[in-house]
Structure 1
Amino acid sequence: MLYVALLPIVDQELNAKIRPAHLEYINDLYKQDKVFMAGPFTDKQGGMVIYKAASLEEARKLAEGDPVVVEGARTLELREWNPLELPLT
């Protein structure tokens, strides 16, 4: 399953400091096939990560392990996502 993590920034200064560790964390999970896609929003107020996980619990563990969440630079909203298979017909 896919799980979307919305990560709004709540502390810009702390986020800038932790961002390299965040990017390394996401990249490592991508190499393990646990991240489908990730990136910042164009308004620079946060970003999104789409995790690949067997359960919500696994996805939550991955998302809560992100250094920007651990250190409190960003909040986390995690939701299961069921993408449409396009085209529909």
Structure 2
Amino acid sequence: MLYVAFLPIVDQELNAKIRPAHLEYINDLYRQDKVFMAGPFTDKQGGLVIYKAESLEEARKLAEADPVVVEGARTLELREWSPLELPLT
């Protein structure tokens, strides 16, 4: 299943400090096939990560272990996602 983590920034200064660890964390999970896609919003107010996980609990553990969440630079909203199979007939 896929799970979308919305990560709005709540502390810009702390986020800038923690961002390298965040990117390393996401990249490591991508290499483990636990992240489908990730990236910042163009308004620079946060970003999102799409996790691949067997359950919401697994996805929550992955998302809550992200350094930007652990350190309080960003908040977390996690939702299960069911993408459409496109094109529709």
State the TM-score, normalized to the length of structure 2: 1.00
In 1, the alpha carbon distance for the partners of 2:86 and 2:29 equals 27
1:1-80 equivalences under 5 Å are 1-80=1-80
In 1, the alpha carbon distance for the partners of 2:66 and 2:6 equals 12
Instruction: Kindly tell me the number of residue pairs found equivalent between the two proteins.
Output: 89
**What is the deviation of 1:13?**
0.1
SS in 2 for 1:73: coil
Give CA deviations for 1:55-82 in whole Å, capped at 9, x if unaligned. 0000000000000000000000000000
**What is the deviation of 1:12?**
0.1
In 2, the alpha carbon distance for the partners of 1:88 and 1:80 equals 21
Q: Which runs of 4+ in 1 moved over 3 A?
A: none
**What is the deviation of 1:3?**
0.1
**What is the deviation of 1:8?**
0.1
Give CA deviations for 1:35-70 in whole Å, capped at 9, x if unaligned. 000000000000000000000000000000000000
Q: Give structure 2 stretches of 5+ with no counterpart.
A: none
SS in 2 for 1:30: helix
In 1, the alpha carbon distance for the partners of 2:38 and 2:87 equals 23
In 2, the alpha carbon distance for the partners of 1:14 and 1:74 equals 9
In 1, the alpha carbon distance for the partners of 2:49 and 2:2 equals 10
State the TM-score, normalized to the length of structure 1: 1.00
Q: Give structure 1 stretches of 5+ with no counterpart.
A: none
